[in-house]
Structure 1
Amino acid sequence: MSDKNKIYLAALLHDIGKFWQRASEPYEKDGDNLSENTRQLIQYICPKDVKQQFGYYHVLWTSEFFEKYKQKFPEELRATASSQRNDDNTANLAAYHHYPSTELQAIVALADHWSSGSDRLNEENMEEDTSLTNFRETPLRHIFDMINTSFKESEDPRYAEDNHYV
C-alpha cells in the first residue's frame, strides 16, 4: 500500500478510539480494560500537559483497536510486537497523531489539528482533556459543523470569520 493510502486510512481511523473509549467501561488507572501492549504505549502516544499529566487518552483506544483487530487488517497495515515508534504502519500513523515521531505521523497530526478546531481551539484545552472522565461530557463535533452554507453574517460563534463558506 502506498504511503498516501496509509495516510488516508490512518486519518480516517485516527479517532476511532474516541468512540471506543466512550463505549467502554470507565478508564481505570491500572488500565484493566486495555491490553498490556497498549498500556505500555502511554508514554509514547499520549503527550503531557503543563502539569506533566498524560492527556488525549483516546489514542490508547485507537491503538487498542488496531491491536485487537489486527488479524482483520492486511499485514502491511498492522503493528507487530517488534514495531517501533518510527514504523509508519497504519496503526502507528493513527495512534501517534498527538505525539508524532515521523513525517507521515506528523501529516496525520496536522490533519487532526485542522479537523479538530471545533473540539479544541488551542493547546490550553489539552489540560481539560487530561481528566479521565471529562471526555464523556465533551461532545464529538464534526468539521462539517463549521461550514456555513449562507453568505450572511451570523451571531453564532461557530460562524466566526475563520470559517469556510460554500
Structure 2
Amino acid sequence: MAELIFLTGPTRSGKSRRAVEIAQAWGDGVVFVATYRSDANDAEMVERIGRHRAERGTAWRTLEAPADIVQSLAGLWPKPSGALIDSMTLWLADRLDQDDGNLIAAWDRQLDGLCAAPHPVIVVGDEVGWGPVPMDRELRRFRDLAGMLGQRTASRASEAWLMVAGCGVRLK
C-alpha cells in the first residue's frame, strides 16, 4: 500500500509549494500529474502552470491526466518514484456535468488505485467552503462536492495537512 499524503487549504496557502518540497525527497523520478486540461486561450492559467513548472525543475515528468489519473500513471515507463497530483479540485471541476453519486464513486476509484500504487502519492486539494454560502446553485454544489471528496481523501491518507499562510498544520 502506497503512502498517500493529502494537502489542503485555501487559495495561495502554499499547498503546491509544500507538495513539491515533500516530493523532492523521492528523487528525480517524481511525476507531476496535472488534472487541468490545458487551454492556451487562458493566459492567466498558462502563466500559473509555467510558474509551477519552474518550481518543480526540469527533472520531473509532467503528465496531463484530466480523466483517469490511476490509468495514466500505470502506463508510465519508467515507473515513477512518486506522484504529485495537483489537484483534486480541478479534477472535480472538469466533471461537474456528471451526477453527484457518479462523481463520488469515480473519485473513490481513483483513491483505491492511488492507495495501491507502488510509490508514494501526494494529492493537493482546495478548501473552498470557508466563505459565505454562494448564491449560485452550481457553486454550492461544487463547494459541497469538493468538501466531500476532501473528506474521503483525508480519511484514506496516511497524512493530512492543512496549509494556511505558507504554514502547515498536521491534521493526521
Q: TM-score, normalised by structure 1?
A: 0.27
The structure with the larger Rg is: 1
Higher relative contact order (CA 8 A, sep 6+): 2
Structure with the higher strand share, 1 or 2? 2
Structure with the higher helix share, 1 or 2? 1
Q: TM-score, normalised by structure 2?
A: 0.26
